[in-house]
Amino acid sequence: MSQASCPLCEMSDILTHADHLECLTCGHEWELPAEEEPAFEERVVKDAYGNVLADGDVVAMIKDLKLKGSSDVLKVGTKSSLIRLVDGDHEIACKMNGIAIGLKAMFVKKVTG
């Protein structure tokens, strides 16, 4: 049974078939409502200063960050290799000081030039 109601008799006793719906009270049949495809929005990742980041950019740290699980610290001004934007909580995947890491965009600035 479905939460829909019949467009003719407005009863909620609806039988769902693979390609249509049928009212058990009056026998009226109608097509399934078309499902709307979610609009695909391109994700925009911005650094701490509002500059839009893209794959292949170089970023620099704007504050010291201690790496979890180690005693290493990424110092202010440390530059990355070419970045790659990824889905998830940490938007940036790159290497800094030879270590592959994931970074949040709010802790970096885009390096120009």
pLDDT for 2 = 42
Domain CATH number, residue 69: 2.30.30.40
CA–CA distance, 83 with 58 (Å, rounded to integer): 6
The answer as to whether 29 is a domain residue is yes
Supply the pTM of this predicted model.
Answer: 0.61
pLDDT in tens, 61-94: 999 999 888 888 999 999 999 999 998 889 999 9
- Residue 36, pLDDT > 70, answer no
User: What's the domain count of the chain?
Assistant: 2
Give the range of the structural domain holding residue 22, as residue numbers without chain letter: 1-33
Q: What is the pLDDT of residue 38?
A: 61
The verdict on 54 and 106 lying in the same domain is: yes
**What pLDDT, on a 0 to 100 scale, did the predictor assign at position 8?**
85
Single out the residue of 46, 52, 74 nearest to residue 61, CA to CA.
74
